[in-house]
Each structure stands twice: as structure tokens, then as C-alpha cells.
Amino acid sequence: MSPEAAKRRRPPIVALVLCAVSLVASLFFGISWALVAGDSLIDRGEARDAALRDGQSAIINFNTLDYRDVDRGLQRWEDNSTGPLRDEVRQGRQNYATQIGQAKSTTTARILDAGIVELDEHAGKAEMIAVVQVTVTIDGQQPANKQDRYQAELTREGDKWKLSGLGTVPVG
């Protein structure tokens, strides 16, 4: 091969090498970007799961009471709430204790279905809905089941989501 022929072959080889390097770089940065994007989706999913889990637990605690140990139940209300709802629980605590004690009722709740409908992870706010079955037992009577639908506002306090608002949703 003549020296002139070798010079003519180098440019295509250099072009192929540069093309291969740019392809490898593109793949590397593309995969890196996809992994980072996937991490944020995973983080968002984990935040949604945490809000749902804590919200369900709080709603169960707000619907589970025993007249024989009202103070413990009301303490759970306080521990699972924040903001205006916690203030309401604290202000009405004695009145709630009296009403529950007089009714001689026990309630046990379980979540039938629930979901997060809004999540603002950065602001630490979420909204959820839940369908709850509550078994009510009045001293000396047979237990009765009722179902309620709730809309709850959640606020993150530290690493835990707590109820900042709770209300029933009318059916129909």
C-alpha cells in the first residue's frame, strides 16, 4: 500500500472511531438520564405509599374507640392529627370522653378501600379518600356494621403523615 493510499484511509477510520465514541457517550448519558428519571418516579411512589399507609392508620384510629378506655383512644386521635384537627381534638376531648362513656359504645374500624387523590410532596400535603367499615357495639347489644366514605387531608409532620382534616362524604 502506498503512503498516499494510507492517508486516504485514515479519515474514514477516524470518522468511524469518532462515531463509535459519540454512540457510546449517547448511550451512557441516555441510560443515566433514564435511571435518574426512574428514581424520581420511585421516590414519588414511595411518598404516595407512605401517605396512604399513614392516612389509613389514622382513619382507623379515629374510628376505633372503647368506652372502657376512652383516654387511650382520644390520645390516638391526638397522636394521629395535626393542625386545626388536633386543636379540635384537644379542645373537645372532655366532651368526647363524656359522650362516649355515656353511650357505652365500642367501635372498631377497618379500611375497605382507599387511595391518594392528590399529593404535593414538597409542600407535605396530600388528600385521600377511604371507604371504612365500622363495627359498633353498644354495651348489651349485638354489634352492627356501618360503612362510611371519608375525605381526608393529610399533612406530613416529620416523616409521618397525619390527618389535618377529616370529613364524611355523602353517598348519592
Average pLDDT value for residue range 21-25? 73
- Domains of the chain in start order, with CATH, are 46-168 (3.10.450.50)
| pLDDT per position as a tens digit, 55-76 | 999 999 999 999 999 999 999 9
Residue 30 has phi, psi (to 5 degrees) of -65, -45
| 132 within 8 A of 111, measured Cβ to Cβ | yes
What pLDDT does 2 receive? 60
What is the pLDDT confidence band of residue 160, given thresholds at 50, 70 and 90?
A: very high
| pLDDT per position as a tens digit, 111-149 | 999 999 999 999 999 999 999 999 999 988 999 999 999
pTM of the predicted structure, to 2 decimals:
0.75
- Measured CA to CA in angstroms, residue 99 lies from 65, 77, 88, 102 at distances of 12, 16, 16, 5
Torsional sign, CA 167, 169, 170, 171:
negative
What pLDDT does 172 receive? 67
Residues 155 and 161: their CA atoms lie apart, in Å, by 5
Q: What is the DSSP string of the chain?
A: --HHHHHHHHHHHHHHHHHHHHHHHHHHHHHHHHHHHHHHHHHHHHHHHHHHHHHHHHHHHHT-EEGGGHHHHHHHHHHTB-HHHHHHHHHHHHHHHHHHHHHTEEEEEEEEEEEEEEEETTTTEEEEEEEEEEEEEETTS--EEEEEEEEEEEEEETTEEEEEEEEE----
What pLDDT does 22 receive? 76
- Measured CA to CA in angstroms, residue 36 lies from 23, 28, 29, 117 at distances of 20, 12, 10, 25
